[in-house]
Amino acid sequence: MIRPNNPATPIPLKNITMLTIKNLHASIEEDGTEILKGLDLTVNAGEVHAIMGPNGSGKSTLASVLAGREDYEVTEGSIDFDGEDLLEMETDERAREGLFLAFQYPVELPGVSMSNFLKQAVNSVREHRGEEPLSAGDFLKLMKEKAALVHLDPSLKTRSVNEGFSGGEKKRNEIFQLAMLDPKLAILDETDSGLDIDALRIVADGVNDLRGEDRAFVVITHYQRLLDYIVPDFVHVLVDGKIVMSGGKELALELEEKGYDWIKADTGQAV
C-alpha cells in the first residue's frame, strides 16, 4: 500500500515526460540556508501530481525554484522541462515555454488593468510560439470565455490586477490566467489556502476543466481537502527538502487520517 519514492501505478496516460527533477538542492540566496536537499520527481504529460508536506518542508520553495524566483540558488541537481534545461532559462522564458505558477499570494498591480496585463502576457507567449498577436475582438472573446470557467465577472477586465480582489477572487483569478495562457505545466501553490468550500469547488472545477493529455499539473497543498476535488494521479510527501514517500490518491487520505507525524515514525525522518 505504501510505496517508497517509486510509483509504479497508475499507468501514465501518455509517455511524454514533462518534468524531470534530479537530486535538486536549493538554498536561500541571502543566507545560504539549504531548503531542498536532493529532491527527485518525474511528471508526465497528462498527469496530476500532488505534493504534500508539513509547514517548512520546502513545498513553496520547490514552486519558486521551478518558476525561477531569484531569491533561491540551485546548488546541485538538474531540471529537465519538456526536453530543455529549465535552469538555463530566464523566468519570463520559462513562462513563455509553458510553465505556469498559480501564486499562493497573488501580487497586486495598482493601476494595471487585467485586460492590459493579460494582453501583454498572452501576446508574449503567442509571439514565442510564432503566432500572431490576438486581435482586440478575439482577445476579449477569449477573456470572456475563460473568465466564465471560474465564474469571474467579465467586468474584471477593467479592474486593476488583484487590487481590491477578495481572497477567493484572487485565487480564481490565478486559475483564470492559467486558462488564458494555456501552459504545458501548471504548478498550483497552496491554491486552496484561504478558500471557503464554495470557492474551493469553483477553483477545482476550473482546474478539472483544464486537465488534458497535453498538460501536467503539480498541486502543492498542505491539506487533503483540495484533493477531494482535484483528484491526483500521484501523491508525494515532502519532508525536510526531500520526497520521502509517494503513492496514489489514497496516500493523501492516509495522511489526512494519521497526520504527518506518522511519516516520521514510518520513514525515520525528522518532521
Partner 1 sequence: MSENGTELLHEVAQSEYKYGFVTDIESDKAPAGLSEDTIRFISAKKNEPSWLLEWRLRAYRHFVSLMEDGDGLPEWAHLNIPPIDFQAISYYSAPKQKPELESLDEVDPELIDTFNKLGIPLAEQERLVGIAVDVVMDSVSVTTTFNKELEKNGIIFCSFSEAVQNHPELIQKYLGSVVPHTDNFFAALNSAVFSDGSFCYIPKGVQCPVELSTYFRINEAGTGQFERTLIVADEDSYVSYLEGCTAPQRDENQLHAAVVEIVAHDDAEVKYSTIQNWYPGNSEGVGGIYNFVTKRGICQGDRSKISWTQLETGSSITWKYPSCILKGDDSVGEFYSVAFTKGMQQADTGTKMIHIGKNTSSTIISKGISAGKSQNSYRGLVKVNRGAENARNFSQCDSMLLGDRCGAHTFPYLEISNPTATVEHEATTSKIGEDQIFYCLQRGISEQDAIKLIVNGFAKEILAMLPMEFAVEARNLLAIELEGSVG
Q: Confirm if 13 and 47 have CB atoms less than 8 A apart.
A: yes
Q: Are strands 48-52 and 34-44 parallel, antiparallel or unpaired?
A: unpaired
3-state class of 153 per DSSP? Answer: coil
Sheet holding 216-221, edge to edge: 99-102, 185-189, 216-221, 48-52, 234-239, 242-247
Residues in contact with partner 1, shown as a per-residue x/- string from 152 to 171 under the rule CB under 8 A: --------x-----------
Is 130 a binding residue for partner 1 by CB under 8 A? The answer is: no
Q: Confirm if 217 and 248 have CB atoms less than 8 A apart.
A: no
Is 70 a binding residue for partner 1 by CB under 8 A? The answer is: yes
3-state class of 110 per DSSP? Answer: strand
Is 116 a binding residue for partner 1 by CB under 8 A? The answer is: yes
DSSP code, position 211? -
Residue 68 has a CB neighbour count (10 Å cut-off) of: 18
In the list 13, 16, 121, 148, the residue contacting partner 1 (rule: CB under 8 A) is 121
In the list 78, 120, 158, 166, the residue contacting partner 1 (rule: CB under 8 A) is 120
In the list 37, 128, 184, 222, the residue contacting partner 1 (rule: CB under 8 A) is 128
Count of residues of this chain found to bind partner 1 when the rule CB under 8 A is applied? 30
In the list 38, 106, 167, 194, the residue contacting partner 1 (rule: CB under 8 A) is 106
Closest to partner 1 by CB, 191 vs 224, is 191
In the list 6, 11, 31, 110, the residue contacting partner 1 (rule: CB under 8 A) is 110
Which among 63, 76, 64 is positioned nearest to 26, based on CA atoms? 76
Is 245 a binding residue for partner 1 by CB under 8 A? The answer is: no
Q: Confirm if 215 and 188 have CB atoms less than 8 A apart.
A: no
Is 100 a binding residue for partner 1 by CB under 8 A? The answer is: yes
Closest to partner 1 by CB, 138 vs 266, is 138
- Cell numbers of 122, please? 498572452
Is 69 a binding residue for partner 1 by CB under 8 A? The answer is: yes
Interaction site with partner 1 (CB under 8 A): 67-70, 90-92, 95-96, 100-101, 103, 106-112, 116-118, 120-121, 124-125, 128, 160, 177, 181
